[in-house]
Amino acid sequence: MVTNTAALPLKVWIGMDTGQKTSALCAVDDAGTIHFQSNVDTNSKEVAALLNFHFPSGVEVIAMEACGTSVRVAKGLRELGFEVVLFGTLQVHRFLTMRRIKTDMNDARGLAHLARLGRTFLNEVHLKSNECMMMRAKLVARHHLVRQRIATEQLILSSLHIRGQGFPKRIRTSASLEKHVLSAIAAIKDDLGEDISDHISPLLQIALNLRDEENKFSEEITKFALRSTICQRFVAIPGVSALTAVSFFTAVEDPFRFRRCCDVAAYLGLTPAVHQSGDRTAPSRITKVGSTMTRSHLVTNLRDAYVKARYSKHYSITKDELDWLADHIEELGRVVHLVCSERIATLRHAIDTPS
């Protein structure tokens, strides 16, 4: 349905509900009046031609829901000069559920209103580059392969454990895994007279194939880390692996979209949640929003760095560091005393102040 566009408003906002083949378009003005509704093929050039025909003076913003079908169209429209914003799926869903009847055109109308009003209170989704998205896809694929490989190896291990056999928890290579499993199968056959190779061998082959594919992805990720200047800076930090560097880089990509550096921690769900109502403030655990995979990479690297610093001889304190501490021990003592005094004063003030 196309309405009369003879008297066009000065400002027009577009909502686009993208689909695999066709998409719904809706245009509203600054008063929320609908001026245009139509279905169009999910193609950036056709969408641009349709908008240029009906709105030759241009449009303000085109709003879409961040999903698999909208990324390609959004990039194409940005290349053609349109301003496109993507909103998070969960936030858009909560806004659109206020309408009882769900249709593609109603969703496009809701997105048009979000384009007009929502940029002031909704978070926009950052549209990453093609190279970053490709590397992110490889990270996700490797992450799933690791989970499937661990589950398969645990299934093999449980079958061996109930028969009194097993293999070490940390096995680095496929050859070592195959050697331990075949040795356990032979030991079970000799001790119990039971041949379990019929159902263990297929699982072992799956685990070996998963390890091979996982290693291929790991090599590609490492090569990308060596090519990227930013990732090389991350890898230069003691304890940061190439996997964690690439995972963090692809999760953030553009750090200038954050106003403060601490916002990055909140973006990855590493800041504590707070529930406040009236005089009651209840702090909670970390929010765990954002990428679970990147957060697990960061926490795992932090844990490994702590273990190495605590127990490894390679991370023991050197004589030069001891000499430096001896030269600055008095200064360090003053700093610690100052910090502790300020903290104690703050706590006393909070205790003495009536609520």
Residues 144-167: pLDDT tens digits? 999 999 999 999 999 999 988 888
Q: Is the pLDDT of residue 45 over 80?
A: yes
pLDDT of 224-262, one tens digit each? 999 999 999 999 887 789 999 999 999 999 888 888 888
**How much is the pLDDT for 202?**
94
**How much is the pLDDT for 229?**
92
Give the pLDDT band (50/70/90) at residue 315.
Answer: low
Question: What is the C-alpha separation between 307 and 214, in angstroms, rounded?
Answer: 25
CB 111 within 8 A of CB 63: yes
- Average pLDDT score, the chain: 88
Give the pLDDT band (50/70/90) at residue 48.
Answer: very high
List, edge to edge, every strand of the sheet that includes 34-41: 34-41, 22-29, 12-17, 61-65, 84-87
Give the pLDDT band (50/70/90) at residue 307.
Answer: confident
Q: Is the pLDDT of residue 312 over 90?
A: no
CB 294 within 8 A of CB 251: yes
Higher model confidence: residue 262 or residue 82? 82
Q: Is the pLDDT of residue 40 over 90?
A: yes
**How much is the pLDDT for 316?**
65
**How much is the pLDDT for 9?**
47
Phi, psi of 84 (to 5 degrees): -120, 135
Q: What is the C-alpha radius of gyration for the chain, rounded to an integer number of angstroms?
A: 29
Joined together, the tokens standing for residue 204 give 């072992």
Q: What's the whole-model pTM score? A: 0.78
